[in-house]
Amino acid sequence: MKTTSTLLLGLGLLTACGPSVPAPAPTDSQPVTRDTIPAVPRVVSSSFNCTATAKPISGDLPGNPRDTANVVARFQPQAATNTVWDLLYATRYLLNTYYFGYSSADLESLHQAAYQNFKKTFPNALSTYTITPEVDSPMKEYVAPIQTQDEHTYYMNAQEVAYYKSVSNNTSLPAPVFGLSFAPVPGGNGLVITDVRGDGPAFAAGLRRGDVLLSIDGQALTRTVQATGADDSGQAKVYSQILGAAAARQTPVSVTFRRGSDQHTLNLTGTVLGAARLPWSEVVRDSHAQPYLYLRLPTFEANGTGQKVHDLIAQASAQNVRGVIVDLRNNGGGLLTEYVSAAAAFVPTLAGETVKFVDGSSASFQYSSGAVMRESSCRTPTAALEVDSPAVWNGKVAVLINGGSASGSEMFSANLRQGGKARLIGEETYGVGNTSTFLFSVPGDLGLSVTAGRVFLNGQQASQTVVPDTSVKDDLTVLSTGVDTALQTALAELGQ
């Protein structure tokens, strides 16, 4: 099964204590003792009656929802307390009230099994235990039966929630970085750059995807850990420590790298960057020296992503490029309104989606005349996001996708495909493109992502994955020779 952490957060989980660890001591701070989790009704309907007193689920959406309708909401059952009982009741309530994915897991059986599992670690009344990292393991097990079939529903521990908020708020990263992503060269020495941040020192120094770093400040990047099959995380960790230590000095360090068959040396200085990664672009040329705009969209997480895309497209029009190549590889999604506004720079009449919820209500986000308009059940349409000086690209477009392209990037690709505007090149996408997600904050400053809706694009039910028009495999071995096969394929196809 794919790991959900790569979809949105890219973080490892906190180490959770298992059932063999003695239960934490009960606390007497709670005035009411509760153990049994009360039943929560589940209502499934194909339509919503706006004259009813019930509030539609679509009304829970804020103006700027996440991913394909992700929403950050705080749920506090009965009392604002942080006990294990509160956590289990909140989880049951949220799953029964909001879940509308395609998993065949029986929710009631799920709740009962989770309760019994929690009692192994917390044998006394559940309301007598405050929430600690001991809940991480049983909470992951709680939602695992859903997650095996639906990777938009998952538990988030405290560390993941904190990182998620830092990205949303563009909080500074905790340490200086070089602003690059990498992977060990398969079966060899050195690390191959897979991405660079447009605001980072690596980009400013001229490093790009496909360059291979050979040494840092005189220390050779020599392989010390052999990969186990496709898993090369051991060597990646060693290289991360070397790069992290070098960046932390915040003084110039010498970097030797290989581009193709040529070797070069430059200086890099670690810099503290914001957590959010914004789009960037540059002009690239094909084999006939014809110019094209390479537009990198690493994520839709950051506020201002759509505006930045419009600004860059406006610049492209003035640069007389022959086409635009949008790189969505390893873009795990983000803000719905940001992906819609970004797609509007290419297909302004088709950018958007409609989400249908378990109670029969729905919410639509469609671009119109410089704004992403929100229209939900029983509400008057309003502008969720406005774009200053919107631009439209009417020329040729290619979109690069791979197995790490998920959620918002799948919707973006599907919007452009519906408009007949783009050639999709690369690999089949991650596979969460047909559902929407609510991200809830639950007791203990923990998180629960719940698949809450089913997505429709311009009246058509969205497919789970996006299949490229031209299949090109992501191959690190080839990339380490300096050849980005998908990019070269895009240049060739746009030049036809």
pLDDT 10s digits, 387-418: 999 999 999 999 999 999 999 999 999 999 99
Residue 226 makes CB contacts below 8 A (sequence gap 6+) with: 234, 235
Q: How far apart are CA 492 and CA 482, in angstroms?
A: 17
- The DSSP bridge partners found for residue 442 are 446
107-121 and 84-98 are packed helices; what angle lies between their axes, rounded to 10 degrees? 170
Hey, what CATH topology would domain 180-268 get? Pdz3 Domain (2.30.42)
* All structural domains of the chain with their residue ranges: 180-268, 280-435+453-494
Are the CB atoms for 195 and 178 separated by under 8 Å? Answer: no
3-state DSSP of 321-350? CCEEEEECCCCCCEEHHHHHHHHCCCCCCC
Successive 10-residue mean pLDDT values, the chain, 496 residues: 32 23 41 84 91 78 45 40 91 94 96 98 96 97 96 92 72 83 96 97 98 97 92 95 96 97 97 91 97 97 94 92 97 92 97 94 94 91 94 97 95 95 95 87 90 91 95 97 98 96
Can you identify the CATH homologous superfamily of domain 280-435+453-494? 2-enoyl-CoA Hydratase; Chain A, domain 1 (3.90.226.10)
Residue 346 makes CB contacts below 8 A (sequence gap 6+) with: 324, 326, 392, 393, 397, 415, 416, 419, 421, 422
pTM for this structure?
0.84
Where do the H-state alpha helices sit in 345-450?
A: 408-418
Helix or strand holding residue 419 (H, E): none
| Tokens representing residue 470 in the block | 């031209």
Backbone angles phi, psi at 283, to 5 degrees: -85, 130
311-331 burial code (b ≥16 CB/10 A, e <16): bbbbebeeeebbbbbbbbbbb
180-268 and 280-435+453-494: same fold? no
